[in-house]
């Protein structure tokens, strides 16, 4: 299992010893001043681990994180009929729907990521995507796809920055923030911890993590899962003060006639994206890493890496359709570090 670090590094030997320390700490039990909790929320597992000397402050902070996750879920889930986003999906074809600043801003950012990824990240994927049910093994019919493919496209969304409203300009449009909302939630949660004076923490929602500070003198060790073996890590990264998101074809999927149908949809076709198995993005902000991991997944190795290498502060590890790992220009593996 390779260990991966960011370039540039001045002293390879020092980097190597830091990496060994990171792996050691990853397997250590949580100590007295470390506090941790996990819960099933937002259709995924949310975990918080943080350091604080005062157990009461720690516990209150952890509760605040879960409350924040619930708040964001209530606002943005498409599984909840009462969410603000569900109201938009219901009403925005008939009239402009005025939304909260928070939802408006996140939709606005989502549209910017569509531009950055040349349309690979597109929240209107759901126009067709809503007809997949991965638990039930259902996919849209050919007729549904044909009828709704034209509803995918950010040109079908009109954002009015004056009254902060959202309107759909074509029939059949549906938006879903599943590719960006978890990153937003962990980013918001970490901001909340910072405001409470917490300096060392990791908040994870499914495949999206935001790290605050280091692991008290060492980097945090974050693993990338082997897409075809649940028990195994494909790589490990020592990180501090960064966000990391992984999008994979192995979380929500079913197979039919030997084809894997999974939850990342190519907006151009309405079918699951199959150029790669997983994409991990490392960067300063979890909203960014979440959206980019989904977008780069759709783009594949060639176009995806070209995009990542053109963006400042963003790195990627891509596992392609054959299981081969690819690294962006600012990363190096231990094979290099050991020389």
CA dist 217 and 237 (Å) reads 16
Closest to ligand ADP by CB, 61 or 78: 78
125 binds ligand ADP (CB under 6 A): yes
Q: By three-state DSSP, how is residue 46 classified?
A: strand
Please say whether the beta carbons of 154 and 114 come within 8 A: yes
Give how far the C-alpha of residue 288 lies from the chain's centroid of Cα atoms, to the nearest Å: 8
275 binds ligand ADP (CB under 6 A): no
DSSP alpha helix (H) spans, 223-314: 286-310
CB of 177 to ligand ADP, least distance (A): 7
Closest to ligand ADP by CB, 9 or 303: 303
Closest to ligand ADP by CB, 214 or 266: 266
Please say whether the beta carbons of 61 and 68 come within 8 A: no
Q: Which residues pair with 325 in a beta bridge?
A: 319
327 binds ligand ADP (CB under 6 A): no
Segment 157 to 186, residues that bind ligand ADP, using CB under 6 A: 176, 178-179, 182
Residue with the two structure tokens 């995507």: 129
Closest to ligand ADP by CB, 186 or 337: 186
Choose, by CB under 6 A, the member of 49, 83, 89, 247 that binds ligand ADP.
247
Q: E-assigned strands of the chain?
A: 4-6, 34-41, 44-51, 97-98, 157-160, 165-168, 201-205, 208-212, 220-226, 229-239, 243-248, 253-256, 259-262, 276-283, 315-320, 325-327, 331-333
Segment 187 to 226, residues that bind ligand ADP, using CB under 6 A: 206-208
Segment 279 to 308, residues that bind ligand ADP, using CB under 6 A: 290, 293-294, 298
CB of 23 to ligand ADP, least distance (A): 25
Among ligand ADP, Mg ion, none, partner that 119 touches (CB below 5 to 8 angstroms by kind): none
Closest CA to 185 of 60, 39, 73: 73
Q: Shortest Cβ contact with Mg ion: which residue?
A: 294
Site mask for ligand ADP (CB under 6 A), range 5-44, x = bound: ----------------------------------------
CB of 198 to ligand ADP, least distance (A): 24
Site mask for ligand ADP (CB under 6 A), range 248-267, x = bound: ---x-----------xxx-x
Closest CA to 69 of 152, 239, 187: 187
């Amino acid at each position: 299992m390779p260990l991966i670090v960011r370039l540039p590094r001045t002293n390879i030997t020092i980097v190597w010893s830091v990496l060994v320390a990171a792996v050691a700490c990853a397997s250590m039990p949580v100590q007295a001043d470390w506090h941790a909790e996990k819960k099933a929320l937002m259709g995924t597992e949310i975990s918080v681990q943080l350091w604080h000397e005062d157990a009461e402050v720690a516990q209150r902070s952890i509760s605040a994180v879960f409350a924040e996750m619930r708040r964001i879920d209530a606002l943005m889930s498409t599984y909840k009929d009462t969410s603000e986003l569900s109201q938009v999906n219901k009403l925005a074809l008939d009239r402009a729907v005025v939304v909260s600043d928070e939802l408006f801003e996140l939709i606005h950012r989502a549209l910017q990521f569509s531009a950055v990824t040349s349309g690979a990240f597109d929240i209107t994927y759901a126009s067709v995507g809503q007809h997949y049910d991965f638990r039930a093994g259902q996919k849209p019919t050919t007729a549904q796809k044909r009828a709704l493919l034209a509803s995918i496209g950010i040109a079908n969304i009109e954002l009015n920055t004056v009254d902060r409203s959202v309107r759909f300009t074509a029939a059949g449009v549906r938006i879903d923030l599943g590719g960006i909302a978890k990153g937003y939630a962990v980013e918001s949660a970490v901001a909340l911890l910072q405001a409470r004076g917490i300096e060392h923490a990791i908040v994870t929602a499914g495949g999206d993590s935001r790290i605050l500070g280091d692991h008290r003198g060492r980097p945090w060790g974050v693993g990338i899962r082997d897409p075809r073996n649940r028990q195994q890590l494909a790589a490990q990264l020592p990180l501090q003060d960064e966000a990391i998101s992984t999008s994979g074809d192995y979380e929500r999927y079913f197979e039919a006639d030997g084809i894997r149908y999974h939850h990342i949809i190519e907006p151009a076709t309405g079918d699951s994206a199959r150029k790669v198995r997983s994409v991990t993005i490392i960067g300063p902000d979890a909203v960014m890493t979440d959206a980019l991991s989904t977008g780069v997944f759709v783009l594949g190795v060639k176009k995806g890496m070209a995009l990542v290498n053109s963006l400042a502060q963003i790195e990627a590890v891509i596992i392609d359709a054959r299981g081969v790992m690819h690294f962006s220009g600012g990363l190096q593996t231990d094979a290099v570090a050991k020389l």
